[in-house]
Amino acid sequence: MKKTLALLLALIMMFSLTAQTAFADEPITLDVIICQYGPNTNDWFLGKGMDGSNFVEKFEAANPDIKLNLEVVSWNDVHQVVDTRIANNNAPDILNIDTFSEFVPDGLLMPVKDYCPEDLFNDFFPAFIAESVIDDTVWAVPDLASARALFYNVDLLENAGVEVPTTWAELEDACQAIIDYYNGDVYPWGVDMTTDEGQACFAYYAWGNGGGFVDADGNWALNTPENVEAVKYVISLVNNGFTNPNPATETRYDLQDMFSAGKLAMLLTTNQLPTYVSDKGGEVKMATAGIPANEGKTGSSVGVMDRVMAFKDDSAPDQAKRNEAIGKFLKFFYDPENYVGWVSMEGFLPAVNSAVEALVASDPSFGAWLDVLGTCQFYPAAKAEWATVRQGVTTVEQEALIGGDIQAGLDALQAEVAG
């Protein structure tokens, strides 16, 4: 018995040793962490999702002197993975994630100009690059973007005799009419105040009321009367029964599911919705409109972008060679031949000019979305306190849902980040 156990153990150990990645004598190895955007991400980078091959194989074939150690990590875990590696001085070489400002104060990132080839840098939309600047230095480049707008179910609105709302007051009327007509079987309006998306909810209504996260000078301005009114308004929508019943736990994807099943009439979400609905096998006649704003105010589209950044590695033997390798990676990634497939796969919008033509050719609706993208406002993600603000406004909204004081909550948050 004992012998067999020992044998078994030895076998298992041998197995696992062979399973371990050996450190080969490749000239240069890049550790890359990519976030999982959807069901196809993993397959595209590591499986067979890129014309029967994958990104890593193709890249290594084109650049035999560079080896990629690429990892696709779920959005749920990525911060944990990255932060743990940073704490152990083991940061990846290249990281694809949503925020970057927390890495800058510690001097972890390399300025983009150190590694990004000139022609590629000039290819990015300048407005996007401007969102990744701290102290006049560009720290990250956008990998893709999405624009948010109002999507509505054409049939549901038509039956109930409702016009598409453009102002907050019209929105309330429309919601009431839909409730009356469908006896509450259809939710008129989708609200997502979950821990991951509360900041978007804040942006939709604050920007639509002349408020926002920052003032004209770019300083935090969270407890303004406009913002308080905006949060009050969205809470009143929930309390009047115009929305999905559990906004604190129903994510945007839950809302999109309801929308694709015809259970939700209107929601604010990204331009990916049509792709999402058809992936889920739903059939909804949908159309888009601008995000409703308060009377006399102009609404603003909300843009969200994710970024690619490179970390410093002082232990690398040849810095120039490493920077060049990172540049080659970016070049290959943003090459329209590869990049167009990547962006359109999950229905995102591109971040470089060179991809636009091919994308518009493949799907004319991209053109309209790119126009929307041009007018979008983005989160102030370059500000150091962004993580706190993002969580803070979400907490204020969630507290207001259960009867908390909005003014007091925003005052406290303002004091914390600006004080």
Partner 1 sequence: MNSPLNRRWWEPYLWLLPSMLLISVFVIFPIIIVFKLSFSEISKAGVIGGYIGFQNYKDAVNLPAFKTVMLNTFWWVVSVVGSSTLLGFIIALVFNQKFKGRKIARAILVFPWATSLVIQASVWNYIIKYEYGSLNSVLLNLGVIKQAINWRSSYQIEFIWECGVGIFVTVPFVAFCVLSGLQSIDESYYEAATVDGAGFWDKLFKITLPMVRPQLTVSTVLNIIYVFNSFPIVYTMTKGAPAHKTDTMITYLYMLSFYERKKGPATALSVIGFLILCACSGLYMITVMRKEEEQ
Partner 2 sequence: MNNPDVLKSNRRALILIVIGLALCLILLSMPLYSFSASVYTKKSPNTFVGDEKYQQVRAEVEAVAEDYRAKGHEAVIGEDVLERVNSKGKTTSLITFTISESFDRSPLSLIRPGFNASYVLGTMLALFALALVCAVLGSAGTLALEHHFLNKRASLLRGTAAVALLLALLLVPVFILMNNYSFSRQLGLYNAELLTEGKDALFAKMDLLLFDGAMGDQIGTALNGLTMEHSGLLWMLLPCLLVSVLAAVQLRYGSVQSSAAKAMLYFFVVIVCLVTLYPYYVMTVTAFRSNAETLDMYFLHLFPTKWIWSNLSDIIHRGVPRYLLNSLLVAGGATVLAMLCGIPAAYAMARMRFKGKKAFLGFVIMSQMFSPVVLLIGISQLMNTLHLNDSVLGLMLINAAFNQAFAVWLLRGTFVAISPEMEQAALIDGCGTFGALTRVLIPMAAPGIVTALIFVFINAWNEYTIATVLISTAANRPITVGITQFSSFNMIEWQYLFAASLVATIPVVILFMSIEKHLTSGLTSGGVKG
Residue 176 touches which of partner 2, partner 1, none (Cβ within 5-8 Å per kind): partner 2
Residue 56 touches which of partner 2, partner 1, none (Cβ within 5-8 Å per kind): none
Tell the smallest beta-carbon distance from residue 323 to partner 1 (Å): 21
Tell the smallest beta-carbon distance from residue 304 to partner 2 (Å): 12
Helices 168-182 and 225-239, axial angle in degrees (round to 10): 10
Span of 224-232, 280-288, 375-383, 386-394 interacting with partner 2 by CB under 8 A: 280-288
Chosen residue from 56, 358, 401, 417 binding partner 1 by CB under 8 A: 401
Q: Is 246 in the site for partner 2 (CB under 8 A)?
A: no
Tell the smallest beta-carbon distance from residue 124 to partner 2 (Å): 24
Chosen residue from 29, 99, 176, 407 binding partner 2 by CB under 8 A: 176
Residue 248 touches which of partner 1, partner 2, none (Cβ within 5-8 Å per kind): partner 1
Residue 36 touches which of partner 2, partner 1, none (Cβ within 5-8 Å per kind): partner 2
Tell the smallest beta-carbon distance from residue 402 to partner 2 (Å): 26
Task: Find, among 187, 150, 195, 146, the residue nearest to 288 by Cα.
Answer: 150
Q: Is 239 in the site for partner 1 (CB under 8 A)?
A: no
Tell the smallest beta-carbon distance from residue 106 to partner 1 (Å): 4
Size of the site for partner 2 (CB under 8 A): 61
User: What CA–CA distance (Å, rounded) separates 117 from 329?
Assistant: 11
Nearer to partner 1, 346 or 397 (CB): 397
Tell the smallest beta-carbon distance from residue 132 to partner 1 (Å): 16
Q: Is 20 in the site for partner 2 (CB under 8 A)?
A: yes
For residues 289-348, which are near partner 1 according to CB under 8 A? Answer: none
Q: Is 72 in the site for partner 2 (CB under 8 A)?
A: yes
Give the binding site for partner 2 (CB under 8 A). 1-2, 5, 8-9, 12-13, 15-17, 19-21, 31, 36-39, 41-43, 46-47, 69, 71-72, 74-77, 80-81, 84-85, 87-88, 90, 160-161, 169-170, 172-173, 176-177, 180-181, 196, 253, 257-258, 260-263, 276, 279-282, 346
